[in-house]
Amino acid sequence: MNFLTNILFNPDIIFIRNALIAGLLSSVLFGTLGSIVTVKRIAGLAGAISHAVLGGIGMALFLSATGIIPGMSPMAGAIIFAVLSALIIGLVSLRAKQREDTVINAIWAIGMSIGVLFMAKTPGYTDPSSYLFGNMLLISNQDLILLAGLDVAVLLLAWKFYPQIEASSFDEEFARLRGVKTNMFFLILLAIIAIAIVLLQTFVGILMVIAMLTLPSGTAGYFVKNIAGMMVFASIFSALFSCAGLAAGWVLDVPVGAMTVVIAGAVFLCVTILSLAKKKMRGKIKQGQA
């Protein structure tokens, strides 16, 4: 309550409110896209895209600082690298399943290495940790507008194409027989996830965005039986984790993004353990009845 009254509603500390709003807006993306990532089991693909983003950031910083492309923003470079990485990984996944893991790991490592190399050659000091781990307290009004716009776009797409999402997520062969262009849908989905990752890395950073794409939806999966319910519950869990992480991070004076992921991970592990214990108990009861 002290955090709410003395800090959150303090007109002199606007960045805290921006961080809270960013957490709530990000929760929509984490919940909606994270549910699809979890159900389709493409967390590895999303992880590779999120790490490859560093290459675009480093290249954009270098091109801007050296005057080759004046004023090029890190976000522009990140989006270019993210979408290209998503398309490469997606095409390989569709056409050469046996080499999928190799390409994913290669994109992951090469993207990060390119970013580090360009940052090392960028005039002045560039700290990669600010992009790797993010800083929720540096969210700007422009970031909020971009997040809100992407929220609206993702929600509209999820609502309009929900039958296709559900069909292709659980049974691609059946969806293909029903006329769903699953390959095109998969590539578009990866491109949307790539753009979302670029915006979300401002919130929790590149290294942690994959955790927030999987932990809330993974937790929600224990309470629902369809992907729509998972999206709703995952968004709620993500919002709760974000608010708790913001409050705990501020009070304990630790990085907010890292604190958010720790809380999300702790809740997920607790729910998983309780679920396993419940199943084991049911098994013993059935054995006793038999």
Q: What is the pTM of this model?
A: 0.85
Residues 6+ apart with CB under 8 A from 231: 31, 32, 35, 158, 217
Structure tokens at 80: 């270019």
Q: What is the pLDDT of residue 229?
A: 92
| Separation between Cα atoms, residue 110 and residue 249, nearest integer Å | 32
Residue 2 included in any domain:
no
Length of the chain: 290
Q: Does residue 157 lie within any of the structural domains? A: yes
- Per the structure, the complete domain to which residue 19 belongs is given by 12-289
Is 4 domain-assigned? no
Note the pLDDT of residue 1.
57
Quick one: pLDDT at residue 232? 95
What is the total count of domains within the chain?
A: 1
In a domain, 6, yes or no: no
CATH of the domain at 87: 1.10.3470.10
**Residue 1 covered by a domain:** no
Give 71-85 pLDDT, tens digit per residue.
Answer: 888 888 888 888 888
d(CA 236, CA 17): 19
* Residue 13, pLDDT above cutoff 90: no
Owner of token pair 């992951």: 108
Q: Considering only CA atoms, which of 22, 214, 3 is closest in space to residue 135?
A: 22
Would residue 7 count as lying in a domain?
no
Q: How far apart are CA 8 and CA 215, in angstroms?
A: 26
Distances (CA, A) of 250 to 19, 137, 261: 11, 10, 15
Condensed to tens digits (0 to 9), the pLDDT of residues 32-66 reads 999 988 888 888 888 888 888 888 888 988 888 88
Residue 3 lies in a domain: no
